Amino acid sequence: MIKRFLKFTGIRKKLIIYYLIITILFGLVSGFSYYNAKLVLIKLESIITDYVYLNDLNNDVNSLMLSVERYLTTRSSDALLNYYTCYNKLQEKSMSISREAVYDIDKIMLKDIGFMIDELLDKTDKAVNAKRGRISNEYISYYRRSNEISEYIKFYINELLNSKLQKGSEKYVSTTRNMNYISYFNLFLIILSTLISIFLALFFTYKLTKPIIELSNSAERISKGDYNIEPVKIKTNDEIDILIKAFNKMVVNIKRHIEEIKGQAEIEKKLKEQEMQNLKMKSLLKDAELKSLQSQINPHFLFNTLNAASQLSMMEGADRASEFIQSVAELFRYNLRKLEKPVSLRDEINYVKNYMYILKTRFGDKISFYTNIDETLLDIKIPCIIIQPIVENSYIHGLEDLERNGEIHLNVKRKDNKVLIEIIDNGIGIKKEDIDKILYDKSSKSSKKHVTGIGMHNVINRLKLFFNISDVEEIIEIESKIGIGTKVTLKIPYCEDVILV
């Protein structure tokens, strides 16, 4: 029961305990003050009681002697009745005086007074009886003896009163001194109990309000959108403890829900970005296909016609013409592919070789084409038609108006985690601002028509989307010197996923 009480003490119990402690504390102080006051009163009453008792005893002795004298003088029945009344009263007091052996001087004197009162009562009674018997000589003798005894009694009473007065004075001084000490001590107890009450009030108030204040501060921070708060770590073992646990659990749940919402928002953001990239990719592919179709006149018919011309040339023995026509047919056949489907680097290079064969056939020794290719890289996947537009761009803008013989070099090699595809020409070169337009100005257009209708911007954008690279400098690099030539390097990421199986 006690363990359960200590384990969970509700606010109501705490308040009851607090008020009980304060009440008991002030009750003890009041009880102590009352007890000390009662002791002082008892001491004072004992002093006064002794004075009153001795004074009454003295008066009773005087009353007895007066009643005896009156009866002896008047011999009236009223005087006799008054005598017996005083006699009985004094006898009762005499009987109340202890006759046991004592060692206190005051008690010895009081015991002697008791014996003398007994003697006085005996002599007065004999005097009255002698008077009633008309024995005049005897009652006078007894009366005289009674007067002597009464004087002794009065003397002893006065001595005892003086002794009592002296001791009473000493006791009064001691009692007064003790009263001062008790008053100071009571004042100390009152101040101490007041301070304890104030301390307990502050302590209970602090213990009761501290968790509430922390809860309110945390709740205010949450209301302002600040969820990065530490759990409230206060143990109260009452109803507030239940509130703290519920609040901490609520904060954890809110944080978890916010993280879930953020995660969902991040996923949705990535999905939207992916969707936008896909839409952009489709747009570029459709644009490229449209341009490719615009640059072709019934490509299927033309492809079939070129095949027929190639077969006819072979039948007539014109092997060179047949090879030329076959290259043109392969060029158109490759152009008919869907641009959204990736191809191997091998197919792309063969496509470029067909294109360069056609150019060499047309222009002879005016243009030369060289390759240096790492054949272990020929199976990597890349977007369709990305090298030929760059090679064609090198010819149209670099070599077509060149007076000397032109050269185009195609190099493929691996460097770290990149496959570098280099297209190098010895043409007229490109100005720096023109390079920036090619790389960054999306609105710039090529001034000359390409065979496929696909320009540099389309190539760059499809490469960025295909490999999910946003920085253009990580996917392509253009170096050029006016009058010397241009080098275009495509940086293809290399990993196992880009190998065609």
22 vs 345: which has the higher pLDDT: 345
Residue 494 CA to chain centroid, in angstroms?
A: 50
CATH 1.20.1440.210 residue ranges in the chain? 11-189
pLDDT tops 90 at residue 483: no
Q: Which of 451, 328, 339 is nearest to 389 (CA)?
A: 451
Q: CATH says 337-498 is which class?
A: alpha beta
Whole-number Å distance between alpha carbons of 72 and 215 = 102
Distance CA 165, CA 50 (A): 9
Greatest CA separation found in the chain?
Answer: 208
User: Mean pLDDT throughout 326-342?
Assistant: 64
Predicted confidence at residue 411, as pLDDT, reads 95
For the chain, percent of residues with pLDDT exceeding 70: 78
Q: Do residues 293 and 332 lie in contact, with contact meaning Cβ atoms separated by under 8 Å?
A: no
* pTM of the shown model: 0.42
Q: 424 near 387, Cβ under 8 Å?
A: no
User: Could you tell me which residues are beta bridge partners of residue 492?
Assistant: 419
Q: Is the pLDDT higher at 424 or at 401?
A: 424
Distance (Å, whole) CA 158 – CA 165: 10
**CA pair distance 196, 282, nearest whole angstrom:** 84
Compute CA 286 distance to the chain's CA centroid, rounded to the nearest angstrom.
57
**Rounded Cα gap, residues 33 and 359, in angstroms:** 126
In whole angstroms, what is the distance from residue 127 CA to residue 123 CA? 6
CA gap 362, 349 in Å, rounded: 20
Identify the weakest region by mean pLDDT among 76-90, 297-311, 417-431. Answer: 297-311
**First vs last C-alpha separation in the chain:** 78
Q: What is the pLDDT of residue 328?
A: 65
Other Cβ atoms less than 10 A from the Cβ of 322: the count is: 18
CATH architecture classification, 11-189: Up-down Bundle (1.20)
Collect all residues with Cβ–Cβ distance below 8 Å to 495 and sequence separation of at least 6: 417
CA 335 to CA 329: how far, in whole Å?
10
pLDDT value of residue 373: 94
* pLDDT score at 449: 46
pLDDT at 384: 85
Q: How confident is the model at residue 467 (pLDDT cuts 50, 70, 90)?
A: confident
Average pLDDT over every residue of 39-56: 76
Question: Does the pLDDT value for residue 98 go beyond 90?
Answer: no
| pLDDT at 490 exceeding the cut of 90 | yes
- Which residue ranges does the chain devote to CATH 3.30.565.10? 337-498
Of the pLDDT bands very low, low, confident and very high (cuts 50, 70, 90), residue 476 is: very high
Q: What is the mean pLDDT of the chain?
A: 78
Residue 240 has pLDDT above 50, yes or no: yes
Identify which has the larger pLDDT, 174 or 379. 379
